[in-house]
Amino acid sequence: MAVAAEALLGLGMGLGLYALVYHNFLKGRRCRNEILLQGKTVLLTGGNTGIGKATALDLAHRGARVILACRNKQRGESAVYDIRRESGNNEVLFMSLDLGSLRSVRAFAEAFLRSEPRLDILINNAGIGCEGQTEDGFDVTFQVNHLSHFLLTHLLLERLKRCSPSRIVVVASNAHRSGKMDFQSIHRPAEGTAQAFQSYCNSKLANILFVRELANQLEGTGVTCYAVHPGVVNTELFRHSPSWAKPLVFLVSRLFFRSPADGAQTSVFCATEEGIERLSGRYFADCRLRDPRPHARDDAAAKKLWEFSQGLLGLAS
């Protein structure tokens, strides 16, 4: 009995310590504003699960018309049903978008502009981390995480300007710390787990540099933009991990990663917080302004990435 009691006491203390550590060090800050979004339209990529779904739910609670742009129709429509039910907002819709296809991005933008008169907030949320090649011949992680979002933003920019003041939020990551801007290879398909992880880091660096140059391009238009780090979140981002690694990823993510709702807080903050317009082009984490690593604050690299992306997409400079 004494041994069992000691074991239970030890377990209780361990759980209490874990809860304390999670609440104070892992969970992160919450967006505290109560800004309402009635009459506003939000477009969010990858909103059928994880951070995107949690972000969409919060914005739906605020009264926004929320468009979930997702690849999987069944999962997208299921997310729409969940969000409508939980928020009481029926202005939540699914539209089909495959970021692994530039053809799909262009078709989506055309359909969106034809059907939706407003665009007040664009959240480039969707992300992936795996090896492979898209139908366009690019590295799948680079294209999904950066290049297709670059194109989508370009195609929707005039609508955002027309509805200004409006905002663009790009979900980046502290993984940018290990990113590199090698313009000879950054777009080429990765081979193997190590290269795929490097490609993910590169794409997150690209997200921050993209926002940095985008802010320069948007100066004076009434459209502002922000890069955000959501924290380390328990999502499906690395669902394509090797089978041998999945049990470890599952255990670690359950114990030490943020919930999607906690991970969504900085995206919601940058989409709604009043008074941050002067910080357009900057990087946020835990609902606070942060400085990314020096190589993510390189204006020359940001401009070169912009021109490089335009070239890959065949866009006029």
The dihedrals phi and psi of 253, each to the nearest 5 degrees, come to: -65, -35
**Please, are residues 127 and 149 in contact by the beta-carbon 8 Å criterion?**
no
Nearest to 57 by CA among 80, 78, 28, 35: 80
Q: What are φ and ψ of residue 227, in 5° steps?
A: -100, 140
Cα–Cα distance measured from residue 151 to residue 134, given in angstroms and rounded to the nearest whole number: 15
Cβ-count burial of 234 within 10 angstroms (0-12 exposed, 13-18 middle, 19+ buried)? buried
Q: Which residues are catalytic?
A: 200
**In whole angstroms, how far apart are CA 206 and each of 111, 164, 181, 276?**
27, 25, 8, 22
Report H helices in the chain: 2-21, 50-61, 73-87, 102-115, 140-142, 148-162, 193-218, 246-256, 260-263, 265-272, 299-313
Buried b (16+ CB within 10 A) or exposed e, 101-110: bbebbeebbe
What secondary structure letter does DSSP report for 287?
Answer: T
In a 13 Å sphere around the CA of 37, the CA atoms on its Cβ side amount to 31
For residues 104 and 24, the answer to whether their CB atoms sit within 8 Å is: no
